Structure 1
Amino acid sequence: MAIKKALRELRSQLSLLDRQVSARAELKDVDLDCLDLIGRHGPISPTALARQTGLHPATLTGILDRLERAGWVARERDTADRRAVLIRALPERNAELFRLYSGMNHAMDEICAGYTEAELDLLADFLRRATGAGRDATVALSGD
């Protein structure tokens, strides 16, 4: 099926782009994945981040230590529960990632400009559903 082939090619190309960004930012691939989740869902607790990444909490602690030392994230006390810790991305440092992805972001803006709002809504729905299927498959495998 053409759509599955195109999605595989997109996944591969985005993976290659992420590796280039990681290398330039002097991050490990898993660090970049965690930063993306923190940026999109943060501030976030380490427990919630471990759940979303599928990483063991001890592994995640090492990643967060590394990201904090390098100035990418900060650990802060949760104002609602002073015993809890939240992780937030530091905007000044994360601007570097936005710069590294700017070429792709610009290209995506140009591609999207060629579609109607209805077509973009349809594509967004497909991608959300495909993402959900991927999430479900990941959960199913992690239960083994």
Structure 2
Amino acid sequence: MSTGLPPREDLVGALSWKMRRLSGETVLFHQAIADRLGISPTDLKCLDLASAGPGPITAGRLAEVSGLTSGAITGVINRLEKAGLVSREQDPNDRRKVIIVVSPSVPDRVVGLFGSMTDSMTELCSRYQDHELALVLDFVSRAADTTHQEAAKLQESIRTSTARS
């Protein structure tokens, strides 16, 4: 019985290619946003991570969740601070730690740059029924988790090979 769909391997191949294209377009979009803010895309992603929690994040935790070294995080924080997007404060509970505080101006300065994209994605979602959106959400969530796990594997293999050198 024919489903009218291409063979599974063709679908998986096409999906893989489109995911690569989406990834590339997303990198270019974030580069454009970062350029507008005078920072790098890595800085922008770290700003997003620092903004994601209920409160400030330590520099060490930011390094951990971003997968960057402590030295690289220092550079990121320096650039974000210079751009007026974050500030450093001493952790009141542990003076050895530095807390990264996201500037109150970030929502106006950064979120506004995503406004058109948000509107376009809302329009795109309107073309799909709720059950279809739930399926897409499940796939994208699992793809993000898989990508995170694969990045962690790569980072670990780099650390392991560097330690052996």
TM-score between the two structures when normalised by the length of structure 2: 0.78
Q: Distance in 1 between matches of 2:106 and 2:155?
A: 33
- In structure 2, relative to structure 1, the CA distance for the partners of 1:78 and 1:119 (3 Å cut) is farther
Picking from 128, 140, 143, the partner of 2:153 is 140
Instruction: Name structure 1 gaps, 5 residues minimum.
Output: none
Report the Cα offset of residue 64 of structure 1. 0.6
- Correspondence for 1:8: 20
* Matched letter for residue 73 of structure 1: V
Aligned position for 2:57: 44
Farther off after superposition, 101-110 or 41-50: 41-50
Computed over aligned residues only, the root mean square deviation of the Cα atoms, in angstroms, reads 1.7
Q: Is 1:97 aligned to 2:97, yes or no? A: no
Provide the rounded CA distance (Å) in 2 between the counterparts of 1:122 and 1:37: 26
Q: Which moved more, 1:37-46 or 1:27-36?
A: 37-46
Which runs of structure 1 show a deviation greater than 3 angstroms over 4 or more consecutive aligned residues?
A: 76-79
User: Aligned partners of 1:40 and 1:2: how far apart in 2?
Assistant: 33
Name the larger-Rg structure: 2
Q: How does 1:1-144 map to 2 (within 5 A)?
A: 1-41=13-53, 42-78=55-91, 81-83=93-95, 84-144=97-157
Return the offset for 1:113: 1.6
* TM-score between the two structures when normalised by the length of structure 1: 0.88
Give the number of the structure with larger relative contact order, counting CA–CA contacts within 8 Å between residues 6 or more apart.
Answer: 1
Question: Gaps spanning 5+ residues in structure 2: where?
Answer: 1-12, 158-165
Q: Is the contact made by 1:72 and 1:93 (CA closer than 8 Å) also made in structure 2?
A: yes
Amino acid in the other structure paired with 1:99: G
Query: Structure 2 CA distance, aligned partners of 1:78 and 1:72?
Result: 19
Aligned residues: 143
User: How far apart in 1 are the matches of 2:29 and 2:38?
Assistant: 14
In 1, Cα distance between the equivalents of 2:39 and 2:73? Answer: 14
**CA distances 1:83-107 after superposition (whole Å, capped 9, x unpaired):** 3432232131442221222111110
| Identity score, percent | 33
Give the distance between the partners of 2:129 and 2:58, measured in 1 at CA.
38
